[in-house]
Structure 1
Amino acid sequence: MSKTKPAPLPPDTLIGGYRIVRLLASGGFGLVYLALDPAGLKVALKEYLPAALVLRAAGELLPVVPPEKLSLYRLGLKSFFEEGRALAQISHPSVVGVQNFFRENETVYMVMDLLEGASLQEFIVTARALKRKKILREATIRSLFDELLRGLRIVHQHKMLHLDIKPANVFITDANKAVLIDFGAAREVLSNEGNFVRPMYTPGFAAPEMYQRGAQLGPWTDLYAVGACLYSCMQGYPPHDAPQRLEKDRLPLAMSRLRGLYSDSLIEVVQWCMAMSPTARPQSVFELQKELQREPVPTFTPPSLADKLRQQVGRIWPGSAKLPVTPSGRSSFYPKS
């Protein structure tokens, strides 16, 4: 594994007709830039660039892939390209919009709608600072996940899985929409085929079968992560990861402490989604939607989801109508111990 992260493309670089403005985010599998399309409109441009497999010096355009890693790099690249092609066929307000995807500089680029707002992770971290018993209110949680599941259901209908659902990948826009971002198909391919020291997915949100090479993944895999997100909205922290739960499952005790704060039905939904056995979980988004809708689900009439979240956390910053964006990353969300 390379010790130095590949350098981002410099500002004003022209890629496929898109001009780089600046780097927005970097991760283990790629970089996301603010860019301008040929008409001068702002877009998010995602570059496939797995840090474990490539090098790129500052000012260079082409990634350098060691020969022994080339086949794995190409496998992930193919998956990333196919993911872009599949996402471009989906049009839903709760799924990030892909406008274009193309090959250039021996890698693949995905052009996505630029979203303004903050991630669910940032809302949870900020709400946790209030030190209330409830991190987010149940009505807010139900409203959020009702919308997200509508989008996830469309994704599954297109024979796709997200494979990296977590609060950092749920974006609450300034236009008051909850949007799934940063799909993980390429990540899963590399995790399954590569021989990496560390898992290439997010502990706490990855279902047990994702730790097993060759295990069958399906809608139930994404729904485990949905349950973990629900848990995080209620507890303020992620659940223990699947290997820890196999040794000693603390989920029942953690959920029992929430009784009286949240309805029994919501607590049971979390435990159902996070069952260790895939067959013990909901097998489809529709099945989970039916269960969540046994309780009335608020519609998106004013105050909106984003407004509700900001009302809950906005008191920390008097006079500010918007949630300040804190640096994203596991360090701000995961407890130190």
Structure 2
Amino acid sequence: MTQSSKQTPLPPGYRLAEYTIVRQLSVGGFSIVYLALDDDDRKFAIKEYLPRNLAARHPNGEVTVPLELDRDAFNLGLKCFFEEGRVLSAIAHPTVVRVSNFFRANHTVYMVMEYAEGRSLARELELVGGQMQERQVRKWFAALLSGLREVHSQRLLHLDIKPANIYLRRNGVPLLLDFGAARQTLSRTDKHFAAMYTPGFAAPEQYDKDQPLGPWTDIYAIGACLYVCMGGDVPPGAKARLAGDTLVPAAKAFRHQYSRELTELCDRCLALRSDDRPTTVLEVQKSLQQEVYSDPLRETAGEGNRLVGWIKGLTGGRHGKGTE
């Protein structure tokens, strides 16, 4: 096992171009993210391409590929990572993480992104007890999808949308982080990366390299996020659902807490067949932006009234007094 299995981070104080590393923020199978300061003491998040199964850290900070057989896979991921940074740097949208710079150093690539103050949607869910108000769900996801539409218009997919990758700024504006398009490219071409997706949020086609990926793939993940925000557990992995679907539909699980329109939208997004999902992110966004939608409490009361009427019919209107 190489040193890369530990993904040794750059140390605090390390100079990287015009930036100084402060500390590590996060690490994944594909990269390390650091908090850094530029020469004017402005904060940035810097993502370093460092796939743990392919690369190792040399003591001088440089990234090496110990096995020559892994060189092509490493270079492919590097190319995709660089292209992702190039596309994101051209997108200026308040709900998409802004890439201000990307450069080569240490025989790898670095992506310099805005550093936002706030917390993840996953943490927000913990703080509110695992269930969010419908009004807030609609507001945040409609805003988020506006940015995702911009991403899709640039022919880039996210491919790893989940509550941990949705950040809530202190001003309440959501932010889409940590794109997984380059990771997914590697997972489809190299055996080392066969599991580089998030079960429960990854669409069925992400498990099958013969199936095309597209906006519908991100839409599945949005559906999973909506399901979790309404109080549900993370859906079973798509492979398990294909073998025998045990997911309780949102329209059934949450019909007493959320509108019929929202729960049915969630179920459509989570359809196993991509053709059964909404066609575009715009379609999902418009549904979330509806200002008039059904009241689950009123519908529940209606169900109760129908039940009372049914019981009265059985008892001949005697209100449970029995026959004479």
1:250 to 224, 246, 254: 246
Equivalent residues of 2:187, 2:193 under 8 A apart:
no
Q: TM-score, normalised by structure 1?
A: 0.82
Counterpart for residue 189 of structure 1: 185
Counterpart for residue 144 of structure 2: 148
Q: Report the CA distance between 1:67 and its aligned residue.
A: 1.2
- How many angstroms apart in 1 are the aligned matches of 2:250 and 2:134? 17
1:164 to 152, 160, 164: 160
Deviations 1:117-153 (A, max 9, x none): 1100111123337xxxxx1111111111111111111
Pair 1:213–1:70, CA change in 2 (3 A): same
The Cα RMSD (Å) is 1.7
- How many angstroms apart in 2 are the aligned matches of 1:92 and 1:51? 31
- How many angstroms apart in 2 are the aligned matches of 1:269 and 1:52? 39
Q: Report the CA distance between 1:2 and its aligned residue.
A: 4.7
Deviations 1:159-179 (A, max 9, x none): 111111000000001132100
Alignment of 1:124-273 (within 5 A): 124-128=125-129, 135-196=131-192, 199-253=195-249, 255-273=251-269
The more displaced of 3-12 and 43-52 is: 3-12
- How many angstroms apart in 2 are the aligned matches of 1:56 and 1:24? 18
Q: Report the CA distance between 1:267 and its aligned residue.
A: 0.6
Does structure 1 residue 77 correspond to structure 2 residue 78? yes
Q: Which runs of 5+ in 1 are unaligned?
A: 130-134, 298-337
Pair 1:112–1:90, CA change in 2 (3 A): same
Alignment of 1:1-337 (within 5 A): 2=2, 4-56=5-57, 59-65=59-65, 66-128=67-129, 135-196=131-192, 199-253=195-249, 255-296=251-292
- How many angstroms apart in 2 are the aligned matches of 1:60 and 1:127? 45
- How many angstroms apart in 2 are the aligned matches of 1:204 and 1:35? 32
SS of 1:196's equivalent in the other structure is helix
- How many angstroms apart in 2 are the aligned matches of 1:283 and 1:18? 42
SS of 2:213's equivalent in the other structure is coil
Instruction: Compare CA radii of gyration and give the structure with the larger one.
Output: 2
Equivalent residues of 1:125, 1:236 under 8 A apart:
no
Equivalent residues of 1:31, 1:47 under 8 A apart:
yes
- How many angstroms apart in 1 are the aligned matches of 2:208 and 2:63? 30
Equivalent residues of 1:63, 1:105 under 8 A apart:
yes
- How many angstroms apart in 1 are the aligned matches of 2:193 and 2:64? 21
The more displaced of 171-180 and 92-101 is: 171-180
Q: Report the CA distance between 1:253 and its aligned residue.
A: 4.7
Deviations 1:234-286 (A, max 9, x none): 12421111011111212245641211111111110011101111111112111
- How many angstroms apart in 2 are the aligned matches of 1:194 and 1:122? 33
Q: Report the CA distance between 1:296 and its aligned residue.
A: 4.5
SS of 1:32's equivalent in the other structure is strand
Equivalent residues of 2:144, 2:176 under 8 A apart:
yes
Matched positions, count = 291
The more displaced of 80-89 and 143-152 is: 143-152
Q: Report the CA distance between 1:6 and its aligned residue.
A: 1.9
Q: Which runs of 5+ in 2 are unaligned?
A: 294-324
SS of 2:185's equivalent in the other structure is helix
Q: TM-score, normalised by structure 2?
A: 0.86
Counterpart for residue 313 of structure 2: none
The more displaced of 62-71 and 113-122 is: 62-71
Pair 1:40–1:220, CA change in 2 (3 A): same
Counterpart for residue 330 of structure 1: none
Q: Report the CA distance between 1:60 and its aligned residue.
A: 3.2
- How many angstroms apart in 2 are the aligned matches of 1:141 and 1:154? 20
Deviations 1:82-137 (A, max 9, x none): 000000000000000100000111100000000111100111123337xxxxx111
Pair 1:186–1:253, CA change in 2 (3 A): closer
- Percent of pairs with identical residues: 48
Pair 1:146–1:208, CA change in 2 (3 A): same
Deviations 1:208-245 (A, max 9, x none): 00000132111101000000000110124211110111
SS of 2:112's equivalent in the other structure is strand
Higher RCO (Cα < 8 Å, 6 or more apart): 1
